[in-house]
Structure 1
Amino acid sequence: MAVRLFEGKQHAAAYLQYRVAPHELINRIMSFMEKKTEKQFTLAVDVGCGSGQGTILLAPYFTKVVGTDVSPAQLEMALANSNPPNVSYRQCPAEELPFASGEVDLVTAMTAAHWFDCQRFLQEADRVLRPGGCLALVSYTMDMELEYGDISDKLNDICKEFYAALLPFRNPYLGSSSVKIYLDMFASCPYPDKEWNECLHVKRTLPLSGYIGMVETFSSYQLLQQKDPAEAERLSNDIRNKLLSTMKVSSADTEVTLIVKYFYWSACKP
């Protein structure tokens, strides 16, 4: 099953503005590659690249990096971004990559593979990877947390209210957590040399409004917004006001620490 989402221009713009670029994960992926294969880092392909935040993080390590996505709106945002000269983008499905067999050194998908036709994608990744090339899939759980002084637990109780309100709008394909999809893909990957990793906490300091904005990019929030725009706005405002009241501040520009819980797996093609 391949699922097409994140294709509206406003959603794509919010995705570019609010999603976290996980450079810590890139460091881990490259460390895995350097241990497993000869240092032939010519071409990396970032599948389901969205607006390119993760794609550009690969640029220092490869001669050429190509981000691919099925969404024209997402690629428009990626192209509008400040891209290194060795980064380019192509529109295509994850299951039909425009590369020759054995041409690619690294295939990545960052917070995207759960929307792919998983078995077809794994077969396509295997086709384009060279022997010794690597596949790395990255995602995170929905339960992001906030840190702020000594009231972090109170803030996270409010965050849980946000997630609980969105749960009925979560795509049933994902279930209550996308971790199982990635575990199933990991089990299906035929490469004997592979590693599963959970959970890496990535911390970012950002305005409280940035946290709200990131949750609003979730597919569950977007579905609520499509079905009932007034209720979506009411929910965001209610959560924002509760957080501000608990923090005893008046401005959503007040900075908090966001904790995103990533998991990922890497595999090396024989």
Structure 2
Amino acid sequence: MAVRLFEGQDHAAAYQQYRVTPDELISRIMSYMEKKTPNQFNLALDVGCGSGQGTILLAPYFNKVVGTDISPAQLEQARANRNPPNVSYRECPAEELPFASGEVDLVTAMTAAHWFDRKKFLLEADRVLRPGGCLALLSYTMDFELEYGDISNTLNEICKEFYAALFPYRDPYLGTSSVKIYSDMFDSCSYPDKEWNECLRIKRNLPLNRYISMVETFATYRRLVRKDPAEAGRLSADVRNKLMSAMNVSSPDTEVTMVVKYFYWLAHKP
């Protein structure tokens, strides 16, 4: 991997607990595969699998699913899951996958490919994919929205303050736009049969506190924690209090709807 992150035990545990599992995206990936390459679902490879939330979702569709990551802490969390018997994990870089050429039916990376050496990863994904196999890369923008009664706009102005405070801690490797990273990767993919999907809004009902905890798993927030843990704690508390005040509630366990805006692309190897 070009960038190593999410390697501490506490961060890996938080990642496992709070990150959103993209069930809706898995359905779209499998629908695409069923159209392009029906009845060829032997091996799926989830690269940069983290704590395995997305890896497990592939299990019902394939004979074998392997999640790979460079972080031992993340893989420890993944192996602690109640994994189906056809799911396993390996430690390796995204650019050096321990599979034979043409062995894999699906290569996917869920909110991870932006950290890879993107050119090397695409070459390696092409190497391990069999002819007719599929590549699926997905991620989301960091501007999560909240819905709550008729004050959603007010809440989202407060959320924007949260994101703006974290933006200076964005890793320079990512540039200013994750969407552009994936769009550039899409453009550089040589497969003629491919499709780009700009936005799929996924909603989850959850306690307000869980939304705060989700943002606290962002790499930007973790960089702030390393620089100034007191400031990071103050920022979270300030945003939480502003949101509760706008909602006119006294408990951070009050349920809201969180909207995550995914983008993704799919490609079919000739």
SS in 2 for 1:161: helix
Question: C-alpha separation between the residues in 2 aligned to 1:3 and 1:226?
Answer: 17
Question: C-alpha separation between the residues in 1 aligned to 2:38 and 2:234?
Answer: 54
| Structure 1 position 81, deviation (Å) | 1.3
| Structure 1 residue runs without a partner (length 5+) | none
Aligned to 2:120: 120
Aligned to 2:228: 228
Q: TM-score when scaled to structure 2? A: 0.99
Aligned to 1:75: 75
| Structure 1 position 38, deviation (Å) | 3.2
Aligned to 1:47: 47
2:191 equivalent to 1:191 = yes
Question: C-alpha separation between the residues in 2 aligned to 1:176 and 1:145?
Answer: 19
Please say if residues 224 and 232 of structure 1, whose CA atoms lie closer than 8 Å, have aligned partners that are also in contact.
yes
Please say if residues 38 and 132 of structure 1, whose CA atoms lie closer than 8 Å, have aligned partners that are also in contact.
no
Write out aligned runs for 1:1-270 (5 A).
2-270=2-270
Question: Residue deviations 1:97-129, cap 9 Å, x none?
Answer: 011110000000000000000010000000000
SS in 2 for 1:54: helix
SS in 2 for 1:236: helix
| Structure 2 residue runs without a partner (length 5+) | none
Question: C-alpha separation between the residues in 2 aligned to 1:177 and 1:80?
Answer: 33
Question: C-alpha separation between the residues in 2 aligned to 1:37 and 1:101?
Answer: 18
| Structure 1 position 180, deviation (Å) | 0.8
Q: TM-score when scaled to structure 1? A: 0.99
| Structure 1 position 39, deviation (Å) | 1.6
Question: C-alpha separation between the residues in 1 aligned to 2:211 and 2:38?
Answer: 40
Write out the 4+ residue segments of structure 1 that deviate beyond 2 Å after TM superposition: none
Question: C-alpha separation between the residues in 2 aligned to 1:116 and 1:46?
Answer: 13
SS in 2 for 1:44: strand
Question: C-alpha separation between the residues in 2 aligned to 1:229 and 1:38?
Answer: 51
